[in-house]
Every structure is written in C-alpha cells, then in structure tokens.
Amino acid sequence: MKTSMKNMYLAVAMAVSLAFTACSDDESGKADRAYNPIEILGTINDATDVQNTRAVGSNWGADDRIGVTVDGPTSGNAVDTYINIQYRKDNGNAFRVVNEGSVDNNIRLKGDGAYTLAAYYPYQGENGALPGEEGVITKKISGAEQSVDKQPQIDFLFAEATEVYADSPVTFNFTHRMAKIILRFAAKNGATLNDMTVHLKSLQLEGTFDVNTGEAVAKEGATPDSELTVDVAKPSEGEMNVSIILFPQEMTESVLLEVRMNNETYTEYVPAQNLLAGHAYPYNVTFENPAMTIKTAEIADWVEEDEKDVTASVTE
C-alpha cells in the first residue's frame, strides 16, 4: 500500500514538473516541439520551363535557397521569432529548412491564429536577422552577372502567404521583381552573325530590393556614364540571344545600344520604355549591312510588352 501511494505521489510530481517545464518553455519563447514544422512549397509565376533557370523560366535550381519570415498571428499564442530563416530546395517544389549542427531552425506555428509569411529569393545574410539595412539590399548590376549561371543571383523573387494556420502547408507563389530586356539576334541579305560584344549605355544599374515587401527600385537620377557590357557567343546551332536583368526603371531615349561584331560597330538609341517589375521587353535584333533592327521575342513566364523597332547604321 505504501509503495502504491509512493508511486502515485511520484507520478503526480512528474506530471506537475512536466507541465511547469512546458509552460516555462512556452513563456520563454522557445520552440514547442509538440508543434510540427511547417511544410513549405514554392512555385514561380505558374509558368512552364524554358531554360532551367528562374531568370528565363520557372524551374528552381538544385541548391536554390529562400529566406522566410513570419509575421505574428492575428489571434492565438505568441509565435517564436522567425526572421530570415533559410530554406533550401528539396524535391519537386518543396523546401527543407537549413539546420546547422544541433540547432533546429524549423518554423513551428502555435495556436489557432492566422499568420502571414513572406519569402524572398535569393537568400542572403543569416537566420534571425534581416539582410542589408533592415531588409533592404543595395545592389549594383554588372555585365558579369548576366551570364546564365550567375543571373539567378540578381533575379530577385518575392512571395507572401496570408491566412496560414499551424497545421496547413504553406505555398509561396513567387513573382519576378526585376525587369528584363531580351535581345534576339538574326542576320539577312548577306550579313552574318558572329561572336559579339553588346553594350547598353546610360541605364541605371544601381538599386535596392526590399525583402519585407518585394519591392525592387532603381536608384533615382540619370547615369549617363554607366555602361553594361555583355559578351555573346554564337551558338553552334539555334538562336543567338541574350537576356539582361535590371532594376525596374524609366528607360529614357538616351539609352544607347552598341554592338561590336565582325570588326564593325553598330549603334542606335533604344526607344524609351518604362521597365516594370516582372515584365520582359524583348527585341529581335536583325543585322543587314550596314543597318541593324530590333523586335519582340516570346518568353513564357514574364509579361511581355509591345515590340519596338530600331534601325542603326555602322559607326564611321
């Protein structure tokens, strides 16, 4: 009998201790392991694959990483602080949290309240702190970053998920926040294509990206001395083209397109355009000695604008 009573007291004491520990953990803001980690899925603009890179299509790369931040619930228990938590591309459109050592960075939502989550790409900084200045990243675009393998790092994406609950998966539908110019090259009437160097002058190459809102903005003011230089190699087969990612901006009539090819230099001012976020502005560039022309090229996942034609002559 005494043994039975002793066991009962011990059980009660353990239950009280466990309850106290759980309460203490909840009040101290530590993650409650009773809650399951959220499941994160990410799609890009609901588009079809074009070229295995989000700069010209909708596929994630094998090691792509996003940053996820949780805004507090509208009701329910307080959420732990989840700021700029790094998630890495897993299978399909799924993302898996990046843990370091014994640290568990999984996001676990508590209570019955609804949450708002924001996500951006590409990931920068570290878990627990917004990148840049309170989430505003300052960047200057270079020609070297316009290659197919490096372009994804300047192709800023953003998504927001609202009315998210503790037991529901989170689906982020990412949209492109930068603007893009596409140049597709062709030749006719005796002209031939070859390796070329493309120069775009007087564009605004500096700007900011806010991971809190997804807003990408070009720096104010004209940059008459700026020059973006991209080398374009002639492929062994297929079309010869190049895409150039920029901060959204008002592209004035002072932007000069200069192409150096076959020991000739072709120049012409590009028609003024308001380069909007998530929009592609494609041009077919046709060489016909001694002139050069431009029109629109199709791409699946960006909003395309009306084509513009440009004629240029060889610089004397």
Residue scoring higher pLDDT (14 or 148): 148
Fold agreement (39-176, 179-296)? yes
Q: Where are the domains of the chain?
A: 39-176, 179-296
> Which top CATH class is 39-176?
mainly beta
Based on the number of CB atoms within 10 Å of its own CB, is 96 exposed (0-12), middle (13-18) or buried (19 or more)? Answer: middle
pLDDT digits (tens, 9 = 90+) for 148-163: 999 999 999 999 999 9
pLDDT value for 254? 87
Phi, psi of 96 (to 5 degrees): -120, 140
CA proximity to 272, closest of 249, 299, 247, 253: 253
Distances (CA, A) of 59 to 46, 78, 152, 240, 272: 10, 35, 11, 22, 31
Residue range 179-296, CATH number:
2.60.40.2630
pLDDT digits (tens, 9 = 90+) for 211-246: 999 999 999 976 778 999 999 999 999 999 999 999
Q: How far is Cα 134 from Cα 17, in angstroms, rounded to an integer?
A: 41
| Structure tokens, 10 | 């011990």
User: Are the C-beta atoms of residues 179 and 246 closer than 8 Å to each other?
Assistant: yes
pLDDT digits (tens, 9 = 90+) for 161-198: 999 998 889 999 999 999 999 899 999 998 999 999 99
Q: How far is Cα 16 from Cα 23, in angstroms, rounded to an integer?
A: 10
